[in-house]
Structure 1
Amino acid sequence: MFFTLLGISFFPGVVNLIPSYKIIDALGWVNTSWAMIIPGLAGMGNIFLVRQFMNGLPKELDESARVDGASDFRIYLSIIVPLIKPILIVCALFSFTGSWNDFLWPVIVYTDVDKMPVTAGLLLLQDIYGNYRMIGQLMGSAILAIIPTMLLFLFAQKYFVQSINLNSGIKG
């Protein structure tokens, strides 16, 4: 299944725009935040990061919990989830940054201008010829667009370092 997803990811993202929009429309998510959140979380980059991180987890942790009589669900909930929390936070941060900086997808799924992210809304400061008449407002809006990403990175910085650790859970 992983290699099938990896093969599909070789196609450019533009190829998936129409099928993705049809799925979002069928679910009734047009003009909702779900149209931005769910497709961003299910990206192949995040799947690859979590898979590689979980491949680095020692198998001894699962085996010792199984010897102690823990069920598969208990092993997953009590051992695996706390260990993969840093990489899940990094994936969420990557998804937020990608969705926040995306231009094409918000313009397609949001018909209401008030719901568009700031970066897609910056287009509204242009005239029909692509000239910026309100350069002061454009620069102010660009600075405001940077602030949430910077704050999230500052608060999640320790999880970046923890997600790089390949020997998680093993002392020695």
Structure 2
Amino acid sequence: MITMDDIVREGHPVLREKAKEVSLPPSKEDKETLEEMLQYLKNSQDEEIATKYNLRPGVGLAAPQIGLSKRMIAVHFVDFNEKEYSYGLFNPKIVSHSVEGTYLSTGEGCLSVDREVPGYVPRYARITVKATDLEGNELKIRLKGYAAIVFQHEIDHLNGVMFYDHINSEEPFSIPENASVADPE
């Protein structure tokens, strides 16, 4: 079981590496690791389990965050329209994106970052992601708004990018150009 102790914190070199592709079909070990990552997210959102094991709630987790430089992400969340997303993905890649941007009015957080980092994080409003799921199926997922933000945050981890790298350092709360807020007011 993955716990908060397994999650590497900012400053760890693996968080700045470009993660390696996972060879497909995935090894038994890679598949088990990805299943555990997804289970961590489910557990972290269950109040009883989260309290018992001192888990910080998360909606996404990338393999570099547990010290593995591999292109694997897990996401588990419900968006603002009550749509559920629950995926363990190998080699996710953004294959297209909108010109329009979006951002969260509250900014973003990260399981690997133990401090508040104020500011708007500009993201694409709509993206299409290609990946392979835990069952070995090739997926093409179209995402918008909050879901698109979560996937971009996790895929950034696979490229050694932290969410705060996107924040305007001069004016952290300047509204990103051509962007609208993703969360309901």
Shorter chain as denominator, the TM-score bin is: under 0.3
Structure with more of its chain in strand, by fraction: 2
TM-score (norm 2): 0.26
Q: State the structure with more CA Rg.
A: 1
Structure with more of its chain in helix, by fraction: 1
Higher relative contact order (CA 8 A, sep 6+): 1
TM-score (norm 1): 0.27
